[in-house]
Amino acid sequence: MQLVRLLFCALAAFAADVDGKWVATVSTSNGDFQVTYSLKADGETLKGTASSQMGETDLKEGKINGNEVSWVMIMERQGNQLRIVHKGTISGNEMKLKVVPEGAEDRTMEFVAKKGN
């Protein structure tokens, strides 16, 4: 039992420090805009919000595993819901994100968010 606890503590020590604010500039065909992610890990669960000039939304289905993170944002457009899947890798104060709107994979974006801005 002590070995299991020791392994669990060791794995937790290798988890990326995701807690805090992360700021990214996203380039689109309509110009650049800034997104701020406020993230908080709770074990392997990731919680938080994303805010931009379009408002603020809660993150859903958030997960953290070592330095890998993922979550879903649900956007409402003309009465329809659009799921936007985010997958990222954290290295120090940078988080490389790949963002894929479900059903519109041709609009995949990749960008970097920086912590503490």
What phi and psi, each to the nearest 5 degrees, are found at residue 16?
-65, 150
pLDDT for 36-95, tens place per residue? 999 999 999 999 999 998 889 999 999 999 999 999 999 887 888 889 999 999 999 999
Task: Give residue 98's Cα distance to chain centre.
Answer: 9
- For the chain, the structural domain boundaries read 16-115
Contact 83, 65 (CB under 8 A): no
CATH class, range 16-115: mainly beta
As a whole number of angstroms, the distance between CA 100 and CA 92 comes to 24
pTM for the whole structure: 0.81
Please count the other Cβ atoms lying within 10 Å of the Cβ belonging to residue 62. 21
